[in-house]
Structures are given as C-alpha cells and as structure tokens.
Structure 1
Amino acid sequence: MFSTIPDVLDQREIEELRGIAARAAFIDGRASAPGAPLKNNLVVGDRGLLERSAQIVADALFRNEDFRVLAFPKAMMPPILTRYGAGMYYGTHVDAAFMPHPGRSLRSDLSCTVFLSDPADYEGGALVVRLGTEEVRLRAPAGAAIVYPSTTLHRVEEVTRGERLVALTFIESRIADAERRDLLHELKEIGAIAGPAMDIDTYTRLQRVEENLFRRWADPD
C-alpha cells in the first residue's frame, strides 16, 4: 500500500525548511548512500541544519494521526533534506533492508517522501513506484507526504526545470508484515468512518478486534 497524506507540514514549517535549504551547504547525495551509482541528487551537509530540519519533519510526521495509523511507527531514520536541480534524478532502486540507527539497525518497512516544493516549481521529478508490471507516477503539493513500501522498486525521474526539494526518511513499523499492517490500517479507517454511526456495543467489539490483532502482530519495544 502507498498513500499520500496531505498537510503533514504546516506553512510555518514549510517556510522554515525552505529557509534552511536556502542557507545550507549541500553535498553529493551519494555520501548518504555509498555504492549507489544511480543516485544523482544533493543532501544537506551542515550537521546543525541537518539535525534541525530532521527534527521538524519527524515531529510533524509523528503528530499526524493518518501517518501513525498507516505506518504504526516503531522507529524512524532522521529525515534528510534532499535537493534535485535540473538534470538530477535517482535511478530505479530498492531501499536497503537495514540501516544504521543509534544503538541498533533499523529495518526499513516503509519509505516516506515529504514535499517542500510546490509542483509548479519544477518539471519532471516524479516519484515512480513499480507495482508488478505497472508504474505509478506520484507528485504532491508542498507539505504533503507520500508513504510507500520500502520493498518496491522505485525511482525519481529527471528534473527538467526548477528545483525539487524534499525530505526523505525510512520507517520501521511495529507490524513487519505488510499485509497485516494494511489490514489493521483498514480496520482503523472503518472505525473512524463508521464508528460514530455504530451503537456502543458494536463499536466496542470492533475496538476489541483492532487491539487484539495489534497485540498479536506488533513487535514489542
């Protein structure tokens, strides 16, 4: 499953992140992914600005209810502010299964792109996710996030005009199995949509199913 979540960042956060990007020194994106010859982008190289931008994006994601019930996040890599100028791209790849995280390795279950540029600010630069024999091209407005399985083949098309500014992160879910995660997410969506119309006994039974499946399937801390 992949999903576009609108308004993860508010306008103040978007402007602060754009300001960080405007004054930051960017370095070759391959520094964050050695051995990735298909990667042609730039990432923030200033540690202080990198940490501040990562905190803004991480806080915004964790406070967003739609993100939490989609991803069931257990841990997250610090989001990396990433720039694609004209001529830049990221070729077809799959994200690494495990990534270095303080104190342990993080299993990448979900990948997340948070958009800081408006679609009108650049041409090209679509996130392309391969689903079986089909490809889905994804763009989103500033402040939105696209979440998709890290197991998929995906790429970023070449930017032909302007600048594509995003923040990238990877999430270890409490529910490692993607099908179980999707089923529990759907149950929670049903509860949110239909719950107000249910009688209290039916709604309580639905909550019991949700919580006991979560208890059975989720990884402990």
Structure 2
Amino acid sequence: MLLHLQGLLTADERAHIRAVLDAADAPWRDGRLSAGSQAALVKHNEQLAHDSPQAAELRAMVLTALQREPLFFSAALPRKIFNPLFNRYRPQAPAYGRHIDGAVLHSQADGQWVRSDLSCTVFLSDPDEYDGGELTIHDTYGVQRVKLPAGDAVLYPGTSLHEVTPVTRGTRLASFLWIESMVRHDEQRRLLFELDMNLLQLRQQLGETAQTTALTGVYHNLLRMWAST
C-alpha cells in the first residue's frame, strides 16, 4: 500500500526546518558514509550528520508531526520508528539509484533495532524548486513516481525497490525514516486500514449503530490476531 499524507508539517514547522537545513553551518556529509557496501555504489547524495544538534532538533519535530497524524497511525500501526534522517539532492550530489532498504536497521540515535516494514519520505522542498528528484517506487502495484509539496509525506512498503532520480536543477530536501509495524504483513495492514477508513465514513454518515459497533469488534479482533507488541 502506498499512502499520501497531506499537510503532515505545518507552515511554521516547514519554515523552521528549511531555515536549519539551508543555514551555512548545517553539517551536511557525503551520504555514502551511512550506506552499506552495495548501496554505496548507487548512493550519490548528502545527509545531515545524525549526531548533530540540528539533526536532533529536526528529528523531534518530524516525530511529533507523525504522532499527531491519525492517518499515519491507522496505516502504519507503528511499534517502533527509526529515527528520522535528512538528505539533500542537488546537481553536485544528484541521485540514489535503485535499491531495497536493509531489512533490520540499527539506530545510532537511540540504539534500537528496527525492522523496516514501511518506509516514509517527508518532502521538505516544493516540486518547483528542483527538476528531477522523483521518488520512484517499483512494487506489485506498478511503478509510482512521487514528487509532493513540502510538508507532505508518502508511506510505502519497505520491501519496495525504489530510487531517487537525478536532480538537474535546484535542491531537493527531505526527511526519511522507517517503521516497524505491530502488523508485519503489508496485506494485513492494508485490510485493517481499509476497514478503519470505511468505519470512519459509516460513523460520519449514520452515527453509531449496531452494525458499526459489530464491525469495530471485527477490526479489533483482527488486530488482536495479527499484532505483535
């Protein structure tokens, strides 16, 4: 399942994050320093130093935004979140070729091991600020090319082959992170998400009825069956 989260960040949050990332003293590093041997062959971008005070501040802002977004919780059912990181693409460091993210990741920020059930990219530059730079996701649902407004995010399966196409003008800034879900399998998460969204619509149309109460029980019994905490 691929999901577009609109307006994840507020205008004030976007402005503050951009000010930090655009500052002359922002500690950008070669993105290959954090890549494995295979990924380093196709990774040509820059990454904000994860141990910097700037990264710590911005991580907290992104996590706060995710935690207040009910659509994110419904779709991801998060058990753990790998600390958000920040990257930059520009003509000098333009692309990240096709790759699949590691299955289990170790966070240097909090020491957690996180299984990458889902990937998430939060866009921090508007589409007209750069040419190229599409997040291109190859999966069973086909090829999706994603280039969203600043402050929006996309959530997609961590098993997906994906890439960032070369940036030929301007600068593409983003935050990226991974989620270990309480429900490990994408198909089960998708069914739970669809049930949750349809229940929400039924309640808005009909109010609380015997049927919505019964279907809510179905949702929670499926979650109880599939979830690990």
TM-score by length of 2: 0.92
The match for 1:34 is: 36
The match for 2:168 is: 160
2:75 aligns with one of 70, 75, 98:
70
Q: Do 2:5 and 2:153's aligned partners in 1 also have CA atoms closer than 8 Å? A: yes
1:32 CA displacement: 2.0
The match for 2:97 is: 91
The match for 2:195 is: 187
Q: In 2, Cα distance between the equivalents of 1:154 and 1:191? A: 32
1:133 CA displacement: 8.8
User: What is the number of equivalent residue pairs in this alignment?
Assistant: 220
The reply on whether 1:218 has 2:227 as its aligned counterpart is yes
The match for 1:5 is: 5
Q: In 2, Cα distance between the equivalents of 1:76 and 1:57? A: 11
The match for 2:122 is: 114
1:34 CA displacement: 3.1
The farther-off stretch of 122-131 and 193-202 is 193-202
Amino-acid identity (%): 37
Q: Do 2:43 and 2:96's aligned partners in 1 also have CA atoms closer than 8 Å? A: yes
Distance 1:190 1:90, change over 3 A: same
- 5+ unaligned residues in a row in structure 1: which ranges? none
1:197 CA displacement: 2.7
Q: In 2, Cα distance between the equivalents of 1:80 and 1:202? A: 43
1:193 CA displacement: 1.3
Secondary structure of 1:143's match? coil
The reply on whether 1:124 has 2:129 as its aligned counterpart is no
The farther-off stretch of 148-157 and 101-110 is 101-110
The match for 2:66 is: 61
- Kindly report the root-mean-square deviation, in angstroms, between the aligned alpha carbons of the 2 structures: 1.4
Q: In 2, Cα distance between the equivalents of 1:192 and 1:31? A: 45
The reply on whether 1:44 has 2:48 as its aligned counterpart is yes
- 5+ unaligned residues in a row in structure 2: which ranges? none
Q: In 1, Cα distance between the equivalents of 2:142 and 2:195? A: 27
Q: In 2, Cα distance between the equivalents of 1:57 and 1:104? A: 18
Q: In 1, Cα distance between the equivalents of 2:112 and 2:175? A: 23
TM-score by length of 1: 0.95
Q: In 2, Cα distance between the equivalents of 1:194 and 1:115? A: 32
Secondary structure of 1:81's match? strand
- Paired AA for residue 220 in structure 2: E
The farther-off stretch of 110-119 and 18-27 is 18-27
The match for 2:16 is: 16
Distance 1:172 1:133, change over 3 A: closer
Q: In 2, Cα distance between the equivalents of 1:99 and 1:162? A: 31
Cα deviation code 1:169-196 (max 9, x no counterpart):
0000110011111000000010111223
